[in-house]
Structure 1
Amino acid sequence: MEKTLFIAAALIAIIAPAHAQEANSRPQPVVQPHSIPLPADRPYPGTMLLKVDATDYARGIFRVRQTIPVAKSGKFTLLYPQWLPGKHAPRGAIAEIAGFKPTAGGKPLTWTRQPTDVYAFDIDVPAGTKSIDVAFDFLSPTRTTEGRVVVTPAMMNLQWEQVSLYPAGYFTRGIPVQLDVTLPDGWTGAAALDGLKISGNRYSYAPTTYETLVDSPMFAGKYFRKWDLGQNVTLNVVADEAKYLAANPDHIARHAAMVSEAIALFGIKHFDRYEFLLALSDELGGIGLEHHRSSENSRNPDYFTEWDDNDSERGLLPHEFVHSWNGKYRRPDKLWTPDYRTPMQGNLLWVYEGQTSFWDLVLAGRSGMQSKEMVLAEWATNAATYSVQAGREWRSVEDTTLDPVIAARKARAFPSATRTEDYYNEGSLMWLEADMIIRQATNNGKSLDDFAKAFFGGRSGDWGEVTYDFDDIAATLNAVHPYDWAKFLRDHMQLPGRPAPVAGIEKAGYRLVWRDAPNVYDRDRMRRAKNYDLTFSLGMTIDKDGVAGSILWDGPAFKADIVNGTKIVAVEGMAYSKDRLEAAIRAAADGKTPVKLLVERGGRYRTIDLDYHGGLRWPHIEKSGAGPDWFDQLLAAKRAL
């Protein structure tokens, strides 16, 4: 009897919460119909006209007028680009649109925004309407806290996806559009669009596809100069002031050599012409973005005028140029999308960006854009970074390919624990190892150069897209040199907890070592950033004002509860200076003396004794033995062969 009562009580205890929950109100979700037409591979009936008035550079406002043919009356859906090629994430600047007004025959049309897709505008088109007009303003950021600045008193970066819409239901390659842009008086513009006609400050282009338009941005500026680099490649430069355009013949010759080295590497060109768009500016927002026949690049104003001090700055243009082959012509199958609403999947970005990061260093070295010392120093710093990165224990490189969507490059409290977009630099180190495996096995008879020709080849002049998947990569590598490449790639890119990626450096006949002075890459990087990078000693960086950042997970600073934003006020009882901190770190190398700091955060002060005795440490690469220098083989010029 007691057993029966116990079971009954237990059942009541289990069932009672369900009855209590049923007494509460319990709504059902409202089903939201998906009413946006899916993209179809068919021609759009008519050509859109896009007019952009870019003359209001003082306020950074672009005034847009767009005429769009329509085939029938009823609901017509226009889309603002959301998922943007090269950004690998939904970064469309929809929040900067103002004054959206559709009309037909001068009469306002009713419109609503799709509640489940804020990038979609539904417009009621009256019977008999052949085309509609859309007007809006794009209010570009005027300071960095609002976003990337694209307009300054001296230049602008016109990205057509920011100042246009397109009809839903079509592949963007099937939508014709004709561009007409008005620039400020006296400014010169450059874009990889065809059929240019200039009338005063008005630039008109021949009709093209919307896909090509979005892939062909413009740089324009008051101070402009261009150089022919050969091979139908042009370097177009805008600058904050005219004096920064003073490139000498050797500077241009090295850029031309880089172009020749790239074409020698890949064997053919997947463009009829190519336009480097380069801004030398402290005011325009920084950018490095690839396109098929052009690239958007920005560097410091003294890129040319202080050439000898800018070696570390010269890897960007090779990187974006390589993307014409790797990323634009050959593209991972899940990164190619028919429109700018379909989500992209970047799981193979360790090829798209990682191998490009390998080739940008190689081409910079082969062409003289960067010294061998600088190339090796950058690999040294990257390898060292991953040797102390806690996030590698739980997160694979391939998982970081989701970071553009997860984090959109936002600042983080402890990036060494979360990881960031490591598919770039760890991808580069993996491809270095792959190159060395092939070179050593074939006695330098083959290399990753052979993969580049085979994988990124095809028909010369074809600037369409050819997609690939993981198996295509492994198969092409095996055709160059038989090896278990599928396992190699999966182990390196898809597994967490991997050893530090130094195998490529070691196979090249070098080793990673530590010295008490920075390598040339770190030296230049710290000078540019105006900070002091002590990642490999105290486990933090310190800016020009003594404020700590980039705290290394489980490093000495971390263990002392120093976080980003902590200000170092004093060292050993004296006001903070870089020299005093260096002296304290050197003194602590005796194994017993702590590094004594007075720090402040949020108005609270405290004294810290940092228990660190390893001295000043920066990574370097040095020759490890008497064997062949495989880095010399890798970085040897090819264009004259």
Structure 2
Amino acid sequence: MLACAPQVGHAAQSDGHSEAQPQPEPLPLPPAVPAPQDVPFGGTLSLSVDATDLPRHVLSMKESIPLPARYTEKGGDFVLLYPMWLPGNHSPSGTIDQLGGLTVKADGKIIPWLRDTVTVSAFHIQVPQGTRQLDVSYQLLTPVSPKVGRVVMTDTMVNVQWSAVSLYPAGYFTRQIMVHPSVQFPAGWSYGTALRSDGKGAGSMVSFQPVSFNTLVDSPIFAGKYFRKFDLTQPDKVSVTLNVMADHPEDLAATEAQIEAHRNLVKQANLLFGSHHYAHYDFLLALTTKLGGIGLEHHQSSENSGPRGYFTQWDKTFGMRDLLAHEFTHSWDGKYRRPDGLWAPDFNTPQRGTGLWVYEGQTQYWGYVLAARAGLMTAAQVKDALAEVAAVYDNRQGRQWRPLIDTTNDPIIAQRSPQSWRSWQRSEDYYSEGQLIWLDADTLIRKMSDNKKSLNDFAKAFFGTNNGSIITSTYTFEDVVKTLNAVQPYDWETFLRDRLYHTSTHAPLDGITRGGAHVVYTEKPSDYVKSYSNLRHVSDFLFSLGLSVSKKGTVSEVLWGGPAWQAGVTRDQELLAVNGEAYDAEGLQDVITLAKNKDAAPIALLLKDGDRFHTVSVTYHGGLRYPHLEGDTQLLDTLLAPLGDQAGAKGDAAKK
């Protein structure tokens, strides 16, 4: 006999009691944290960081906060916030779990604090009447190993991110809060940052000029035992510096030709945008296997890590040399011009990432283009990279159910956590598929204008306004369309909406095919694929067996719908043997080649999944497949050529 559920609208009864048991009611939410107001905070916060506890990976902070007059006069609830919505992360990813030892004092006496039970990044402090200043101390218990999180302190380097080591008063736009920062470094270390010293430090303690809290958070520090600075300043005299730290001193051995390529990056960006939006710019680059990987943009600096052989194995590391070009572009695209949904008055107000297809997508495009124009990569290497991007996104079956615009929500949805089926789930595809859209737009403008106009003109018109200003300028979708139409009249709204808001079977490859080129697959990987795979320690069989394998033999990705997927292979399984022999990448390549015979037996993969061993049979006869561009690439060669050369070519054409 089935038990009957209580009828809707009737109180539940139990154990034969006639009294109705009360139903639970929602608990009222606590009062909201003070909303940010665009008014000056009044005083200047003092924030000091001790970055010397390398063995324990602990950063220790002391912060002095002058109180507004109303708290001195009457006391009351004063709220401090820990930054959560971090620039460049596009999500509430602040490392509040690492905050420890929080102690608040006034006139030497401890004042209790209480964390907000809803906004857990907010700390309530009941300030006694007559209190003029709060003295706050705390630590950031940074990860001691990669198993805990991103390592920011090693025996030879430290990455100070101000968003992680600071608290700020609620109720104010953060541009209205001034901070006087200082850092104690290990003795003998050098540092790089967009902050500037005020000359008041002593020994290994550096005191910086007061800045707004916005500028502080946007100005991280790299400090290290082994450090070099390279001047990249152009004739405009606006200071640009490449700051490099390394695990080992020999990794800093850059040649003049290599540094000249970085100077050319600054030159080509200035020519492209016709402006700059920094008082000075500091590239921060760590060449390391110890510090956690980082790729983050800032208005007046980058914050990046690269391989130890960035300089010393120059011919092998080009697969990541679009990185600094990408981050430098962000000074214009993302930091100066920013989608209106990605601007917020403080670092705890939610943001909306709808415009990331411009913020990151066009930056990804210019990263490749500027790398080629500067000589950080050759045009051939960039074309190989574009072939790889085109192949990846053309084979990404998730595009059949999920439009690209929805991936702009991924920083909040997934926060870059690992995915079981990336090719079906999609990730932050607005980066590289966005890049393909902007390549499409560039080549279309060139074709329609008989090469008199290009996306270069859009870049200068859209990002080059208010030369010298570092004040953020927001924009809308309509602003993008309007500027495109001013460069080259066309139905750009439909062009963009079709590619952003609609699902599709294939990636937007018209930017490649418009000039007569197309993607083909051969059995030989391009030099770019070799470099990219080596830097990421994987062997790529995505377009043949439909999987990639780490150097340790772990399956790192499985292509949804591919042969390995059909056989039931999943990521994170260990590939132990192929056709009865111990796995190695070269052996698997040979097996795939031999299996091209239609009568060949399926490929047998012995896999270890946890404590379970099993063998799967993969039916595949297509041979090794790696993407390349074939056909007429003249249009691509033109847009990858240095701007000085393009200007000269246009001048010669005009004379004729």
Q: Which residue of 2 aligns with 1:202?
A: 205
Could you give the per-residue CA deviations for residues 81-108 of structure 1, whole angstroms, max 9, x where no partner exists? Answer: 0101110000111111111000001000
Query: Contact conserved, 1:502 with 1:512, CA < 8 A, in 2?
Result: no
1:531, distance to aligned residue in structure 2 (A)? 2.1
Query: Contact conserved, 1:66 with 1:135, CA < 8 A, in 2?
Result: yes
Letter in 2 for 1:68: I
Q: Which residue of 2 aligns with 1:446?
A: 453
Letter in 1 for 2:579: E
1:304 to 304, 311, 324: 311
Q: Which residue of 1 aligns with 2:472?
A: 465
Does the alignment pair 1:220 with 2:223? yes
Distance in 1 between residues matched to 2:82 and 2:93, nearest whole Å = 11
Could you give the per-residue CA deviations for residues 304-346 of structure 1, whole angstroms, max 9, x where no partner exists? Answer: 1111111112111000000000000000001000001100100
Change (3 A) 1:15 1:186: closer
Equivalent residues in 2 for 1:48-197, closer than 5 Å: 48-71=45-68, 72=71, 73-197=75-199
* Structure 1 residue matching 2:125: 3-state secondary structure: strand
Gap runs ≥5 in structure 1: 1-12
1:634 to 636, 639, 642: 639
Letter in 1 for 2:86: L
Does the alignment pair 1:550 with 2:554? no
Q: Which residue of 1 aligns with 2:624?
A: 616
Change (3 A) 1:568 1:194: closer
Distance in 1 between residues matched to 2:328 and 2:221, nearest whole Å = 16
Change (3 A) 1:129 1:603: closer
Distance in 1 between residues matched to 2:24 and 2:569, nearest whole Å = 48
Gap runs ≥5 in structure 2: 14-19, 648-656
1:20, distance to aligned residue in structure 2 (A)? 6.5
Could you give the per-residue CA deviations for residues 120-162 of structure 1, whole angstroms, max 9, x where no partner exists? Answer: 0000111111111000011111111111100110011101111
What TM-score does the superposition give when structure 2 sets the normalisation length?
Answer: 0.93
What TM-score does the superposition give when structure 1 sets the normalisation length?
Answer: 0.95
Query: Contact conserved, 1:60 with 1:142, CA < 8 A, in 2?
Result: yes
Q: Which residue of 2 aligns with 1:3?
A: none
Distance in 2 between residues matched to 1:189 and 1:544, nearest whole Å = 34
1:586, distance to aligned residue in structure 2 (A)? 1.4
Letter in 2 for 1:151: M
Query: Contact conserved, 1:567 with 1:600, CA < 8 A, in 2?
Result: yes
Does the alignment pair 1:28 with 2:25? yes
Distance in 1 between residues matched to 2:130 and 2:338, nearest whole Å = 42
1:598 to 596, 606, 611: 606
Letter in 2 for 1:184: P
State the identity %: 46
1:499, distance to aligned residue in structure 2 (A)? 2.4
1:265 to 257, 267, 272: 272
Q: Which residue of 2 aligns with 1:6?
A: none
1:391, distance to aligned residue in structure 2 (A)? 0.7
Change (3 A) 1:110 1:570: closer
1:68, distance to aligned residue in structure 2 (A)? 0.3
Query: Contact conserved, 1:260 with 1:639, CA < 8 A, in 2?
Result: no
Query: Contact conserved, 2:595 with 2:621, CA < 8 A, in 1?
Result: yes
Change (3 A) 1:196 1:509: farther
Query: Contact conserved, 2:157 with 2:223, CA < 8 A, in 1?
Result: yes
Instruction: Report the RMSD for the aligned CA atoms in angstroms.
Output: 1.6
Distance in 2 between residues matched to 1:17 and 1:246, nearest whole Å = 76
Distance in 2 between residues matched to 1:450 and 1:214, nearest whole Å = 32
Could you give the per-residue CA deviations for residues 444-484 of structure 1, whole angstroms, max 9, x where no partner exists? Answer: 10000000000002122100100000000000000000111
1:419 to 416, 421, 426: 426
Could you give the per-residue CA deviations for residues 35-56 of structure 1, whole angstroms, max 9, x where no partner exists? Answer: 3111011111111000111111
Q: Which residue of 1 aligns with 2:346?
A: 339
Does the alignment pair 1:404 with 2:411? yes
* Structure 2 residue matching 1:600: 3-state secondary structure: strand
1:411, distance to aligned residue in structure 2 (A)? 1.0
- Segments of 4+ moved more than 6 angstroms: none
Could you give the per-residue CA deviations for residues 487-539 of structure 1, whole angstroms, max 9, x where no partner exists? Answer: 11111112122522211100133110000011222111222233211111111
1:322 to 329, 338, 345: 329
Does the alignment pair 1:525 with 2:532? yes
Distance in 2 between residues matched to 1:170 and 1:229, nearest whole Å = 37
Q: Which residue of 1 aligns with 2:388?
A: 381
Query: Contact conserved, 1:41 with 1:171, CA < 8 A, in 2?
Result: yes
